Each structure stands twice: as C-alpha cells, then as structure tokens.
Structure 1
Amino acid sequence: MTPLADLQGLIDRAARRHGVPGAAVAVGTGRQVVEAATGVVNVDTGVEATVDSVFQIGSVTKAWTAALVMQLAGEHLVDLDEPVRGYLPEFGVLDTAASASITARQLLSHTGGFDGDLLEDTGRGDDAVAKLVAFMRTNARQLTDPGTLFSYCNAGYCALGALVARRRGRTWEAAMRDLLIDPLGAGHMALYAEEAIMFRAAVGHVGKPPRPSPRRLLPQADAPAGSTLSAALRDLVRFGRMLLADGVADDGTRVLPTGTFAEMCRPQVTLPRIGDRPAAAWGLGLMLFDWDGRPVVGHDGSTPGTSTTWRIVPDRDLVFAIHANGGHLAAFIDDVLAEIISTTADIRLPPRLSPPPTPVPFHPDTYTGTYAAPRITYNVRADADGLAVTEIPSGLAAQFRPGKTTTRYVHVGDSHFVGLEPPQGPHPMIAFLQDGRFLYNLRLVPRVTD
C-alpha cells in the first residue's frame, strides 16, 4: 500500500510514535493532491487538526520571497547581479565596501557574507521591515567577502522583502497577496495573526509533555524570511506545482516568467558536505539535494515548536509538504518523508550522519575557543575523545531556546563533527572552516577568542 493510498494511516502511526500533538501532509503528483491530518492544533483547546488547518511554515516562506524577486527580475525591475543599493538606497551593513557591492543574487543564495540572525523586534507596523534594514546598517558585521561562502542569512531575506516593497510600491505582505497568493488561488494562507484566526490555526508545542509555545508572534520585521506566514499544506503543493509548470498556475494564470524555476534550481554555491542528507548546494531561494542520485529541491522551515518540510522531485512531477506542531519533530518528518519519497519517487532517503564506532583522531586546539553571533555564543572545549560545545542564547533568542546547553561531539573527519546525544532524533552536526576561524552549522559563526 502506497502512502497515497494510506497517507492517513502513515501520519497517524508516526505521530503516535513520536509524540506529535498535530500534523498534516499533502502530496501532489501531477494534478492529483492527497491530504491527511492528525491530532490537534492546540493541546489546550483540543481542536482537531484538519487538512484545512493553517500551520506556520517558517523559512519555507523564503522560497515565496525569492519568487517575488524573480518576478521583478523577469520584468527588468531588478538585475540580480547589480548592487541592491541601486534599488534600495537604505540597504547596508557595517562594512562600507560590502554595502556598495552586495547583489540580490547573493542575498537569494545566502552568500552576502554578513550576520544573518539579528532578531531585532521593530514592532508590528508596515514599516517593521524597513526599520530592520536601517538596524542592519549599524549592526550587521561582514564576516566574509560577498559571494564567497554560504552562511544562512535571515536578515538578507528581510532586505529582499524591503526590495520587493520598494519596487512594487506596497508592503511585502501586499505584494505577496497580490502577486503570488491570489494568482495561485491559495485560499488558506495567512500573513498576519489576525488573518490566521479566520482559519483553524495551529500553534507550536514545546517541552515534555508538549505544551503550547509561550511565544507564537515572532517579529514582523522577519516576515519575508519566515516569521509570520501560515498555510494549509495544499497551498504549498499548489506553489510547487506552479513552479513545475514553468510558472503557470492551475487555472492557466502565468505567475512567474518562463524559465524561472530552472534558474532558481541552478546551483549558486556549494555547501560543506556533512553527510549525504543535507543540501549539497543552494540555488535562488531553494535548497538543492542529491538523494539517491536524483535531484530534489525545496526548503525547510521552523518556528518555536513547529517544523515544515517542502520538497519537489522534478523528474517525478512530485510535490509534497509535511508539518508537525511539536513532539519529536525531526524524527516524525523523517519517517513520513522516507516513506513518501521511496514509494512515490523510488528514492532511498539518505541516512542521517551518526557517530562513528571509533572517533577520528584530531587536534582540539584547532577548534577550541569562543565563537559568537549576535544572539548566541558557542564555547568550544576539548572533552574526552571530542569537543564539548556550550550554546548560550541571549536577547530575543533566549525566548526561543532553552537556557545554556552543552552537547558533546566526536570527529568524523574533514573538520566535521557529529553530536553524541541527539535530543529529539537526529544527531546535530557542525563543522569548522578556515582552520577554525568559523564554526559552521549552516551559519558562519566567527571565532572571537582562543
């Protein structure tokens, strides 16, 4: 029995196994879409999760923001290889030369080279994103030369949201509604909390047993990067089908210029490989995977107590989305993802990296020290056969993470390390780049002391 035939049973069993309060899945092959939901949207209210429920999709939003930028490029309102400042004069970071040279292509591919997680709450007005862009000018450090290294950058996507707003003469939210959501016919999407309450809206859950996250409203300034958008998963499938149809929506409306999806899938930067599961490269707003010798694209997203996975398998005309609102999120998604992609696309999902039976020898002095980003500090010290990495969140980040936590890592070769004690399923992975100058966990975190 395929997951399309028993999708409900698949997610029911996985949710029970991994303590997930509520979940949903939508799978589209060709023009057929199969959906299922399980559990509740909120353990306090007991409201049932349905396929019409809207879930926070987190950074999956970045693919939508990228599509808005690609519309601008297709209309010759933005050249992806010209400096962003030419279209958005207020854009800038602490480094004067970088401010004058960073391009939209670099922001789309996370190669702008500056601090990405500023997490500054600038209020809930229409000017929230613009205020964050102003904050970047005096707070975003330049870590590497633009266009040289990948470092996941939420702030860069906020700048892209401001770029869209400026070129369209309206807010990012209005542009999203007018130019993507409505033309797609995506009827179950909410851009604000006051829109989400018109639907059966899910909340994230944290802790054991899972309880509703104490913070659901994330900063409006980060909306283009993924702080606010909620959707029923069928609308994520609808978006993916439009991409597969070379920019044409189900009703025949052209939403994106011809060739846009192919351009978005073109590798812009290669990522350090820590195992076969993570993305091998990044395109323009899309993660690019090589799974079982086959191309797969998509994006992941999370907000406190939630996780969303959205994938497209182009050569199988397959789009699917999976969401869980608490419990062992990664383990649940792994189970459902592996079954869907193996049965529907004949792809064996690569296993996640695990600690080796015998740790690979290494010289700890190369890596020990303190590494700091704007809202988190990592203290790295030698520990038995590996490293002990203590994470210390601060500011707004401390509201989304537990207090100080320490994880033990062992060496797996090539300056890559894997965690020994996974808190909820997969073992965490880190790497050190440029002889220990940076700790890398999708973000580049610079070393500040030895």
Structure 2
Amino acid sequence: MACRASGTTTPGNGLFPDSLPTFLKDSLDTYVQRALTDWQIPGVAVCVVKDGKVVVMKGYGVRELGQPEKVDENTLFMIGSNTKAFTATAIAMLDADKKLSLDDKVTKWLPEFKLDNKPAGEQAILRDLLCHRLGFMTFQGDFTYWTSNLTREQIIEKMSHIKAVYPFRTTWGYTNAAFLTAGQIIPKASGQTWEQFMQDSLFTPLGMTHTIALSKDLPAAPNKSAPYTMAEGRLVRIPYCKIDNLAPAGSISSSVSDMSKWVIMQLDKGKYEGRQIVPLSAIAQTRWPHSIMGNGGHLFNESHFALYGLGWMLQEYDGRKIVSHTGGVNGYVTSVTLLPEENLGIVVLTNTDQNAFYEALKWEILDAWLKLPYRNYSNVYLQRTLHQQQEEAKAERQFRDSANLHLPTTLPLTAYTGQYFNDVYGDIQVVQEKGEMRMIFSHHPDMYAKLESLGGNRFYATFSDPEFSKAVFPFATEGNKVKSVTVKVADFVEYTPYEFVKRP
C-alpha cells in the first residue's frame, strides 16, 4: 500500500523541530508508513499539541483506496465516541450557566424516561447518564439501536425494556443510549437541538470549520476519508455509518486540524485564543472521577487504575493524569488524549475499524515525550491482533466446512420459518428467499443474515453487513415445533445475545 505524509510539522511557542522528541522528529513518518502496510490502514491523521501550539500535524496514506487523494490535516474522519466528550461538555456548560443541574433527575427534563428497574429510572440524574452507571452491561442494547431505523425517542423508550445486568450505580457499563438521552435534554434546557448547540457553542467559537455534527452530512463533504473494515480476511469498503439516532454518543466527523483546536481549548482550561469558550467549572466537572472502570488500560499494565468522568476516561501513567477517550464506528477508530500536567495533547484518526494502531501511536508519542524507554507498541498490538484473527479464521473454516456438508436439520426447513419476537428488539423473520434461508430484521431493513445448516437445530449465520459478522444461531425446539432462536451479533456491536420467541 502506497503511503506518503502530507501536512506540516509546525514549530511554536519556543518548540522547534530540534526540540521535539527523537521519535517525533526522526521516526514518526517511517513508523506510521510501516503501520499502514502492517495494519492495512488506508489513511491516518495525527496531531500533537504542546503548550498551546500545534507541533505535529500530518496526514498519511489515502482517503480512499484506488483514488489519488491523500489524507491531509483537513480530511474528515468519523470520531465515534470521542463525540461523548463534546456532549458531556455541553451539558456541563448548561450546568455552569444554571440552565440545568448535573444533579437534576432525568425525569425532570424527560418525563417519559423509564428503566426496567423502576426506582433507578426515577432516581437517575444527568451524571448517571454521562458516566455509564445505569446498571447496563457495556454495549447492552446496541444491537437494537446501532444503524437501526429507530428514532431517538424510540431508542429512549426501548431502554425501559432492557433488564440491567448490574445494580444501579454499582458498576460501570458503557451505554451509548444514555448519552443519547443526555443529548435529548439539551433542547429542553437550551432551546437548540443537540447538533445546533454543538455548532453554535463549540464548533463555531473554536473555528472548527470542517467539523460535522451529523453522520448524514459526511458523504457530501469534499475532503473525507472512506470507511473500511475487514471481511473474509481482506479490507473492504463499507457504507458511511448512519447513526444520527444516537448522534450525541458518536456521530461527529472531524479532522486533526479542527480537533487540535478542541484539544488546545481543553488544555487551556476552556480558553481558546484568549476567549473563554467553556467555563472552567464545566471542564472540571467532566474530569471529576465518577465511575470505576478497572485496573488501568495500558498494554504493559503500567497504568494502575482507570476511572470515568463525564465523557472522558481518566487514568494514571508515569505519575501523571491522563484524560482520554477512544472512538469506534463502522469504518473508523480514533483516539484523543490529554496530559494536562505536561500541557500535551494527541489526536489519532484512522479509517478502518480493524486496527489497534490508533492506540499504539498514542502510547508511542506519550512515551517519547515522557522520555520513557522505547517499546514498539504497534508490533505488540499487531501480534495479538493477528493471533486473534487466526483463531477466528480457524473457527470460521470449521463452521464453513460443516455448512458445506449440508447436514440435515432436526425439522423440515419450513418449520424454522416465520416471525419471532424479542421484547427489546422487536420482530425478526426467517424466510426462504432466493434459494436460501434468511433472517430479516425489522429495525435493520437493509440487512439480512444468510442461514446455513450445521445439522440439528444449529445454523451458521452470515450477516450481509460485515460489521455484524458471523455467528452460530441455535434454535430451540419442543416436539416438532420451533420455540425460539438465539441471535448473537459481533462484539463490536454488542456482547449480549438475544432470544427471539417464535410467534404462533
């Protein structure tokens, strides 16, 4: 894969190229170019901010395979869950302006908000939404919501059908629908939609002229990267992700040029070019620890704890506090990292969702700046990823070999066809269509899963959308009747399996 750097390395505020860490000055280009090939990444953009100035801003590779346009500092990437810091900051700004309180009950602003745990729904406050402590398991419910045809209001209603895995406020569980709910409070308190508030209160004051709030507007942007994923062991171009029904959780698209301004403001206590864009109290609220995530999050276990603020992950590394987040949507993974004590910020954007290089590069830059011994993070992450891919490919070959045997099912194929229902998702349908068994999803009308018999009551399911991957769907029978089917999608979407009961 051809790859060349574009953009600039910019000196500023007394920082000249000679004073950059050796890795950034001498090795960055080679390191990233090698990664584009090793990880099969079409394009990468990176920026480093130090003491209020951009010291590195570069694009590598191409926006789209087979096309000549290079990635540059203004190329747009979906930033995924790095959107969450914007949403949490917006809510904290409204709190600072006394237009709402972070300690308000959610039902004060959204009376229709309910949880399956009724007392939890009644007691939940805005902070609970923004720090992932409603009791849900990470990604729980996302199969129902992700790239679905549900409206924002319908998603919030669907949350009331999900049985939380953990007791309320006891355990951190990453919940995209909670950030949607928080975003839906912004119009109630400000009179502006979430996307209007983003534009008027953050993007415009910061001069983020290329940044787009909604995913529907990305395809029309002139300088954008195309999304890619891995399928059948090769890189494939996929459609732009449509997640405006979850917009406050992950729909923003931005460039390293624009994100550098966001990072500079965050590191300067809410100021940008001498103007207070975000109140200092709002910055502080988002970085106050609210939930315990676990024991770190560093590849070599050198970060001793991981906490969650409001839209930010918080951890310690080499005696310093790191404020960061990652983002992943179909075709893109990204990271934003702040080291406030060093006045250092790092942004890495990539346009394939099957890489860990966006994290490797972050740690590489941090170690270089902190003068820690060199470790090739990309290589370690890559070996782990390749091993995992090999194991997955081996399992897939075994299932594929079984499917190719055309083993007989317990019951006639017509017994498995019909309508099935799950209280959270709703309806799915199993049909015989175009010479094969297919599962049709009511809230994902553009997607289906091809079902191939593995013998007995098990079918090998291949989703038409590669993001949902492949899985074994077991059907439960009683006598000569099918009672239910268990559906599992890719962990990238949701970990939790769904049981669908067959309608009479």
- The two structures have a TM-score, normalised by structure 1, of 0.74
Structure 1 residues 16 and 374, CA gap change in structure 2 (3 angstroms): farther
Give the C-alpha shift of residue 69 in structure 1: 0.6
- What one-letter code is carried by the residue in structure 2 that aligns with 1:164? I
User: Are the counterparts in 1 of residues 99 and 190 from structure 2 also a CA contact under 8 Å?
Assistant: no
Aligned to 2:486: none
Q: Pick from 105, 127, 130: which aligns with 1:108? A: 130
| Residue 73 of structure 1: aligned partner | 95
Q: Deviations over 1:63-104 (max 9, x none)?
A: 100000101111122221231111222222233222211111
Tell me by how many angstroms 1:326 deviates. Answer: 2.2
Residues 1:203 and 2:203 are matched in the alignment: no
1:231-246 alignment, distance < 5 Å: 231-246=254-269
What is residue 11 of structure 1 aligned with on the other side?
32
**Structure 2: 5+ residue runs without aligned partners?**
1-20, 386-421, 426-440, 448-462, 474-490, 500-504
1:30-429 superposed matches below 5 A: 30-33=51-54, 34-114=56-136, 115-117=140-142, 118-119=144-145, 123=149, 128-137=151-160, 139-192=161-214, 193-194=216-217, 197-207=220-230, 208-213=233-238, 215-226=239-250, 228-249=251-272, 251-273=273-295, 276-277=298-299, 280-326=306-352, 329-330=355-356, 332-346=357-371, 396=444, 399=465, 400-404=467-471
Aligned-pair CA distance for 1:306? 1.5
> 1:178: Cα distance to partner?
0.8
> Larger relative contact order (C-alpha < 8 A, sep ≥ 6)?
1
Of 280-289 and 234-243, the range deviating more from structure 2? 234-243
CA 1:144–1:443: 2 relative to 1, 3 Å? farther
Find the counterpart in structure 1 of residue 22 from structure 2. Answer: 2
- Flag the 1:66–1:272 CA change in 2: closer, same or farther, 3 A: same
Corresponding letter in the other structure for 2:247: A
- The AA in structure 1 aligned to 2:292 is T
Which amino acid in structure 2 is aligned with residue 222 of structure 1? Answer: L
Secondary structure class of the residue paired with 1:295: strand
Percentage of matched positions with identical amino acids: 25
SS in 2 for 1:78: coil
Preserved contact between residue 95 and residue 282 of structure 2 (Cα < 8 Å): no
Cα pair 2:241 2:330 within 8 Å, conserved = no
TM-score normalized by structure 2?
0.67
What is the CA–CA distance in structure 2 between the aligned matches of 1:405 and 1:288, rounded to whole Å? 37
SS at match of 1:19: coil
Tell me the equivalent position of 1:384: none
In 2, the alpha carbon distance for the partners of 1:441 and 1:148 equals 24
- The SS at the match of 2:470 is coil
Which residue of structure 1 lines up, in the alignment, with residue 412 of structure 2?
none
Please state whether the residue corresponding to 1:271 is helix, strand or coil: strand
Could you tell me which amino acid in structure 1 is paired with residue 342 of structure 2?
R
| Alpha-carbon separation, structure 2, partners of 1:108 and 1:14 | 34
Contact 2:211 2:252 in 1 (8 A): yes
* Corresponding residue SS for 1:224: helix
Q: Which structure's CA Rg is the greater one?
A: 2
Please report how far the alpha carbon of residue 205 of structure 1 lies from its aligned counterpart in structure 2 after TM superposition.
Answer: 0.9
In structure 2, C-alpha distance between the alignment counterparts of 1:444 and 1:82, rounded to whole Å: 31
User: Are the counterparts in 2 of residues 27 and 35 from structure 1 also a CA contact under 8 Å?
Assistant: yes
**1:399-446 C-alpha deviation (Å, 9 max, x unpaired):** 32211179xxxxxxxxxxxxxxxxxxxxxxxxxxxxxxxxx9998859
2:45 and 2:72 in contact (8 A); partners too? yes
Task: Supply the distance in 2 between the matched residues of 1:145 and 1:284 (Cα, whole angstroms).
Answer: 20
Amino acid at match of 1:221: N
SS of structure 2 residue aligned to 1:41: coil
In structure 1, the gaps of 5 or more residues are: 356-371, 376-393, 407-439
The number of aligned residues is 375
Q: Could you tell me how far apart the structure 2 residues matched to 1:247 and 1:55 are?
A: 24
Deviation per CA, 1:203-244, whole angstroms, max 9, x where unpaired?
A: 22122432211x313231111000x21100232222122122
**CA apart distance, 1:284:** 1.3
Q: Supply the distance in 2 between the matched residues of 1:2 and 1:96 (Cα, whole angstroms).
A: 56
SS of equivalent to 1:223: helix
Q: Secondary structure at 2:25's aligned position in 1?
A: coil
Over the aligned positions, Cα root-mean-square deviation in angstroms equals 3.4
Report the Cα distance in structure 1 between the residues aligned to 2:59 and 2:359, rounded to whole angstroms. Answer: 17
Q: Structure 2 vs 1, CA of residues 152 and 74 (structure 1 numbering), >3 Å: closer, same or farther?
A: same
1:345, CA displacement in angstroms?
A: 3.2
Amino acid at match of 2:240: R
